Amino acid sequence: MAAIYFDHAATTPMHPEVVAVMTQALTESFGNPSSIHQFGRRAHQQLTAARQIVASSLNAKPHEIIFNSGGTEGDNTAIIQTALARKAEGMHIITTAIEHPAVLEPMKYLASLGFDITYLPVDQTGMIALADLQAALRPETILVSVMFANNETGNILPIAEIGAILKAHPATFHVDAVQAYGALPIDVTALGIDLLSVSAHKFNGPKGVGFLYKKDGVNFPSFLKGGEQEEKRRAGTENLPGILGMAKAITLLTPAEKARRKVYLQKLADTLIAQLKASDIEFSLNGNLENKLPHVLNLRLPRVNHDILLTRLDLAGMAVSSGSACTAGNIEPSHVLAAMYGEESPILKESLRVSFGYENTLEEVEQFSQRLIAEVSRLQKKD
């Protein structure tokens, strides 16, 4: 039986057309976009075209796009540089307890510098309350950073509502859209977003490349010090093959294709849930089932240690995870589930994340569900 990959929330395989574009770029577009000779001019033209593609996908202006190495750099740049640039106006920042480490770690760093960080709590469905945000806002609040969709539960957070609240407040609004960009339509203008981070490898593009949307009027110095690339906003020679690959991945994600994938991925998720319901195993779903990404399922399997289950599934050629790939190597339990249920809850060690991609099939879902049911049934009875 062929291996089954159901860990697309961690990373996605590159689309064949993306590979083709990058292969051509690696062999033909080797010029430095900053060089003035013909090789550099051609590279610069391609970079400009890619920037337009990215900007159009967000209803942004091309010069508002800064190419970088991905979500972590984008989050660090947006959060740290905004805080340092606006320090004289205030030192209060608001975020949530369920952010990705690429947001939480910069927050810890800023706290060590004396910034006051408010972490909005979540309920047992993993959702924040807008009333908590409004209560936390102060005159000295300079930054609000909230993820668009959670990478462990798939929950979609109320970004439009937060943007509306912040229209009457001078705080900068940053959104980590790494998990959401490939699945949801995003209009940064309509949503009132000032800064937005994206990483290509989450939507069938290459690893090590992404971008930061920075709205006109949001000012801070380059996070990396060096050359004057990206209009002096991000030093370092641009990764042109990666950027062209990302742009190709974006062109493949037309609004119609996103809508089609949403329906298809929901069908895969619904099929798995139906199979589990038809079995005799105990299970439930973590997260807000009414407002989530269709491709991410977080399963709770009572009395089943997820480490043991993951190992057994891996030996059977089936790849899933227990949470964020950026913390999966850590023995600490999921901070997202801990925020939802409390740090002592057994749910933290009994939960599994299954995430689908466009290339997955119903046959794979059925094969996976059969194996999952067999393993869980054995483990639950053994307990």
The kind and range of the H/E element at 198 are strand 195-199
Q: Which of 97, 319, 325, 326 is catalytic?
A: 326
Best CA proximity match to 274, nearest among 347, 379, 138, 366: 366
156 within 8 A of 293, measured Cβ to Cβ: yes
Distance CA 155, CA 125 (A): 8
Give the rounded distance of the alpha carbon of 110 from its chain centre: 22
- Catalytic residue flag (residue 253): no
Residue at token pair 């091309």: 62
275 within 8 A of 140, measured Cβ to Cβ: no
Question: DSSP assignment, residue 200?
Answer: G
User: Considering all CA atoms of the chain, what is the largest pairwise distance in Å, rounded to the nearest integer?
Assistant: 70
Distance CA 28, CA 369 (A): 45
* Mutual angle of helices 240-252 and 38-58, in 10-degree steps: 40
Query: Which residues have a Cβ under 8 Å from the Cβ of 299 and sit 6 or more positions away?
Result: 276, 283, 284, 285, 286, 351, 352, 353, 354
For the annotated catalytic residues, the residue numbers are: 326
